[in-house]
Copies of this chain bind each other. A is one copy, B any other.
Amino acid sequence: MTTWVPVPEGSDFPIENLPFGIVRARRELPRPAVRIGDHVVDLAALSRAGLLDVPAAAVLHHSALNPLMAAGLGPPIRRQVAALLSSTPEPGVEAALLPVDEVEVLLPIIVGDYVDFYSSLHHAENLGRMFRPDAEPLLPNWRHLPVAYHGRSGTVRVSGTDIVRPEGLVPDGEGVPRLVPSGALDIELEVGFVVGTAGTRIRPDDADAHVFGVVLLNDWSARDIQAFEYQPLGPNLAKSFATTISPWVVTLDALHPYLVAGPEQDPTPDPYLQMQRLWALDLHLEVELNGERISATGFRSMYWTFAQQLAHMTVNGATTSPGDLFGSGTVSGPSKSERGSFIELTWRGAEPLALADGSTRTFLLDGDTVTLRGWCGGDGPDRPRIGFGEARGTVSPAPTR
């Protein structure tokens, strides 16, 4: 497919992608847009010009994608926009096209429930080896169900939002818990899935009827706060201060060519978790610290797929709603350079990372910027690059008291 819109070579957002987001142009209210190259298409402007067949008031005059997703209008809007951008340019479309630099790019969804999984075999084994060195690295449930917990939806932030170092209780040298700024601020490289359409008891092979699209997700984690608080009910303040997502929701339609078979699952999961279709995603992921790549891995090797995660989350009768978000869990591959968190990259601080500027890191310092990137394809004909942009955050100091 070709477009008359200038798209830079290697852009994450060619005509084959067309992800959805929320933008605010100067003096305008926030509203839905589609991204192409270094431009965004203002959908309400297209609609006003009579170029988009969609109930504008119901879905385009909102500051979040939720109504558009709930109405199932993602695919038809995307098809119409693709047609407009690939045929002869006309004034109504050109007028709706704004340089991305001239708009604010906001959080794309009102997050309903946010659930975070733990579905990378290598990540779970790494953490098991660190925290339970004398036992089997995987707990007995891990290969039977995708382990997960609920996170804080109200602190999901869009890429570019500063991350204030959290404070929490950490035992001092004498074992007395003290309120201190975390000394072990970490990241988790994850992929997030946005629910577009409500459901319950969803079968894995129906996942595409419910998942609207995909984002990058950084589950910032304070390891020292987590270690003291997390028994017996799981992590809380160690993660609730902030979760960063990328602003452009890449649709499942755009990702369809990159759905592949995942790793074999042993033992065979219970029937409610079995799939006939391909639900692993052939997505390349990278982590940058202050512009230097410190990790790169593939998402397709995740043990549990997002389709299984969605099925698990709803098998008990729980409902899922438009705007719900679920994270894959930290993505770590088998080798050291493929680990998706500092606690793994530095083996709990025992092996500090040596950086190009001569400094080292165990965990994050104030002023550090972490950027997650990811893309599918871009490596051959008929393999257009479907990119995710970035999920970026800079650590700012804890408040002084």
What is A's interface to B at a CB cutoff of 8 Å? 112-113, 115, 118, 139-141, 144-145, 147-155, 164, 166-169, 177-179, 201, 222, 225, 228-237, 240-242, 270-272, 312-313, 315-321, 324, 399
Contact = CB atoms under 8 A, between A and B. Distances in A.
Given A177-B144, A179-B315, A234-B234, A112 B150 contact: no
A331 B18 CA distance: 51
Contacts of A113: 152-154
A315 B149 contact: no
B201 A155 contact: no
A271 B241 contact: no
Given A177-B145, A179-B271, A201-B399, A318 B229 contact: no
Contacts of A271: 179
Contacts of A115: 236
Contacts of A233: 118, 147-149, 234-235
A141 B228 contact: yes
A153 B315 contact: no
Contacts of A316: 166-168, 222, 225, 237, 240-241
A335 to B, nearest CB: 24
B152 A149 contact: no
14 contacts: A112-B153, A113-B153, A139-B232, A148-B236, A149-B233, A150-B150, A150-B151, A152-B318, A154-B324, A155-B319, A167-B315, A178-B270, A237-B316, A317-B399
A119 to B, nearest CB: 12
Contacts of A139: 231-232
A149 B147 contact: no
Contacts of A141: 169, 177, 228-229, 231
B150 A318 contact: no
Contacts of A164: 317
Given A177-B144, A229-B147, A399-B201, A167 B317 contact: yes
A146 B231 CA distance: 12
Contact of A229 (B145, B222, B235): B145
A150 B147 contact: no
A313 B140 CA distance: 31
A344 to B, nearest CB: 16
Given A139-B232, A144-B169, A230-B232, 5 more contacts: A149-B149, A149-B150, A154-B324, A179-B315, A225-B316
B320 A154 contact: yes
Contact of A312 (B140, B154, B237): B237
Nearest to A149: B233
A292 B236 CA distance: 37
B147 A112 contact: no
A151 to B, nearest CB: 6
A219 to B, nearest CB: 12
A66 to B, nearest CB: 12
Contacts of A236: 115, 147-150
B240 A272 contact: no
Given A168-B316, A229-B141, A317-B167, A149 B270 contact: no
A31 to B, nearest CB: 21
Nearest to A165: B317
A143 to B, nearest CB: 10
A217 to B, nearest CB: 16
Contact of A272 (B151, B179, B319): B179
B178 A318 contact: no
A339 to B, nearest CB: 19
